[in-house]
Amino acid sequence: MSSILAFDLGASSGRALLGRLVDGKIEVEELHRFSNDPVQVGNRLYWDILRLYHEIKQGLLKAKHQGINLQSMAIDSWAVDFGFIGKDGELVGNPYHYRDQHTEGAMESLFAQVPPSVIFARTGIQFLPFNTIYQLYALKQAKSPLLKDGNRLLMIPDLLRYFLTGEIHNEFSNATTTQLYNPIEGKWDSELLRLLELPQSWFGEVLKPGSKAGMLQSSVCEELSIPSIPVYAVAEHDTGSAVAAVPATEKSFAYLSCGTWSLMGTEVNKPVINDLAQKLNFTNEGGVAGTYRLLKNIMGLWILQECRREWERAGKSYSFPELVQMAADAKSFSSFIDPDDSSFLAPGDMPSRIASYCKQTGQQAPESHGEIVRCILESLALKYRYVLELTERISGQSFSGLHMVGGGIQNTLLCQWTANAIGKPVWAGPSEGSAIGNLVVQWIAQGDFADIWEARKAIKDSFPITVYDTEESEAWDDAYGRFCVLTGLTE
């Protein structure tokens, strides 16, 4: 029986998922799971890229030790971050973490040189302060030696693939997130590169999801005592892989990829680049089979994760099920936050920031840990409604419900509250959406599925989908009105 391997690197953990096709159904097995922790050095926050590469090799070793005959592998990860390869073929420096503060003020400074309307018209990508374009601009402003020594820019999965294969390629879905790729022209935007004085030579061939991107090189095979296998470029932005795994049966569907970040939107055949999309700060990221993901980023469970870390530092440890139960026991609709307020972006004392936000907006700050968790989860559910309504408006579609995928769906309270908030059913599953999307794109490339829709049907038939119907709609409608007023959301 042939097996394939998906390495899915999330913002807080990574996993190696083994995939098999048995009688038309997908079977998966987690071979390896590991933490993905950024490293603070002085005032800088880095990704531990060599540790991640080490863990990928551990996943390959575990497959070998279990006698598994691998047919192929692929990697997906978060977006926007990158590393440089020098002329000697070696890594130049450690990749910065997107939450590092070196980009503070970079976006606004660049706008003085290149108007945001020009950037959006040429890329269709939403304005986020950590986008690759602003990271590069910040490095230029700081006269970083990385720019002098770097010869090729590789996004995180590109970089890890390079370590494995020795071949240098960029991949489409992650390239589009840089805000330097022109989806209309289908290539890196030469005008933006000229305006920013960035060398065109840094940016190479862009592979479509499903392209073969090389073979495991001999040094890796000798080190691990394994045979060489193909390494594919899938939808290497993990959200692109998660959307590929949405078990939709209708061409018009809304999705929420729920984890450290929440990403909500719909799949479109061509990018939506107009004044309304720019005004509402929507994005058009590359997807599978030539599609685009018209979506909006929402801060997600990051805020809860940071609260949990802060409480652990203070000596109080909670499991996530305990946090959910504490929220369920707390009083409803006592206070709200806008999860996307800039104060919640950086790591730190999130409970204090939530209290400050509530006081600044004329609310009573949540006090107990359960009240804080309830505030976060209710606010997320209400923000999901806000963004879903914007998605319908900007796409001209009306959605009958919402597909939720990703690890966040294990929080059943959030799923139920999301259904309550949007007033429509939520279909939750699969939880390992990014890894499963990674697998099915490999299978499509190898001819096991005819296209993404056949793959989505197999996903629907292979994994349980939990349906959450709307409850307490009147109370949630009232809460939504208050939420919009208190957070200043008027669109």
Q: What is the CATH number of the domain that holds 332?
A: 3.30.420.40
pLDDT tens per residue, range 429-488: 999 999 999 999 999 999 999 999 999 999 999 999 999 999 999 999 999 999 999 999
Using pLDDT thresholds of 50, 70 and 90, give the confidence band for residue 490.
confident
Domain-embedded: residue 437: no
Using pLDDT thresholds of 50, 70 and 90, give the confidence band for residue 28.
very high
Domain-embedded: residue 54: yes
Catalytic annotation on 88?
Answer: no
19 plus 133 within the same structural domain: yes
Using pLDDT thresholds of 50, 70 and 90, give the confidence band for residue 1.
low
260 plus 373 within the same structural domain: yes
Domain-embedded: residue 443: no
Using pLDDT thresholds of 50, 70 and 90, give the confidence band for residue 29.
very high
Closest CA to 268 of 280, 248, 285: 285
Q: Would you say 153 and 188 are in contact if contact means Cβ atoms under 8 Å apart?
A: no
Q: Which of 189, 213, 236 is the last residue of a domain?
A: 236
DSSP, res 80: S
The confidence score (pLDDT) of residue 295 equals 97
The confidence score (pLDDT) of residue 11 equals 85
Domain-embedded: residue 435: no
Average pLDDT taken over every residue of the chain: 97
What domain count does the chain have? Answer: 2
202 plus 251 within the same structural domain: no
Q: How far apart are CA 98 and CA 431, in angstroms?
A: 25
197 plus 274 within the same structural domain: no
124 plus 146 within the same structural domain: yes
Q: Would you say 145 and 198 are in contact if contact means Cβ atoms under 8 Å apart?
A: no
176 plus 255 within the same structural domain: no
Q: Would you say 382 and 423 are in contact if contact means Cβ atoms under 8 Å apart?
A: no
4: pLDDT strictly greater than 90: yes
83 plus 195 within the same structural domain: yes
193 plus 260 within the same structural domain: no
262 plus 214 within the same structural domain: no
Domain-embedded: residue 454: no
The confidence score (pLDDT) of residue 2 equals 81
Amino acid at 458: A
pLDDT tens per residue, range 75-111: 999 999 999 999 999 999 999 999 999 999 999 999 9
pLDDT tens per residue, range 133-181: 999 999 999 999 999 999 999 999 999 999 999 999 999 999 999 999 9
pLDDT tens per residue, range 356-381: 999 999 999 999 999 999 999 999 99
Catalytic option among 238, 338, 477, 478? 238
129 plus 265 within the same structural domain: no
Q: Would you say 246 and 255 are in contact if contact means Cβ atoms under 8 Å apart?
A: yes
Q: What is the dihedral angle through the alpha carbons of 405, 477, 295, 415, rounded to the nearest 10 degrees? A: -10
Look at the block and give the residue holding tokens 């998922």: 17
Percent of the chain with pLDDT over 70: 100
Tokens of 7: 């390495």
Q: Which of 236, 269, 293 is the last residue of a domain?
A: 236
The confidence score (pLDDT) of residue 474 equals 97
Domain-embedded: residue 397: yes
Q: How far apart are CA 332 and CA 330, in angstroms?
A: 6
Give the predicted TM-score (pTM) of the model.
0.95
Residue 319 falls in which region: left (phi positive, over 0), alpha (psi -120 to 50) or beta: beta
Domain-embedded: residue 457: no
Q: Which of 209, 236, 263 is the last residue of a domain?
A: 236
The confidence score (pLDDT) of residue 336 equals 98
491: pLDDT strictly greater than 90: no
Look at the block and give the residue holding tokens 């009083």: 331
Tell me, rounded to whole angstroms, the distance of Cα 228 from its chain centroid: 29
Residue 280, number of CB atoms within 10 A of its CB: 15
DSSP string, 381-443: HHHHHHHHHHHHHHHT---SSEEEESGGGG-HHHHHHHHHHHTS-EEE--TTHHHHHHHHHHH
Q: How many residues are given for the chain? A: 491
Using pLDDT thresholds of 50, 70 and 90, give the confidence band for residue 12.
confident
Element (H, E) at 30: strand 25-35
Residue 218, number of CB atoms within 10 A of its CB: 10
Q: Would you say 333 and 378 are in contact if contact means Cβ atoms under 8 Å apart?
A: yes
Domain-embedded: residue 127: yes
196 plus 274 within the same structural domain: no
192 plus 280 within the same structural domain: no
What's the domain range around 28? 3-236
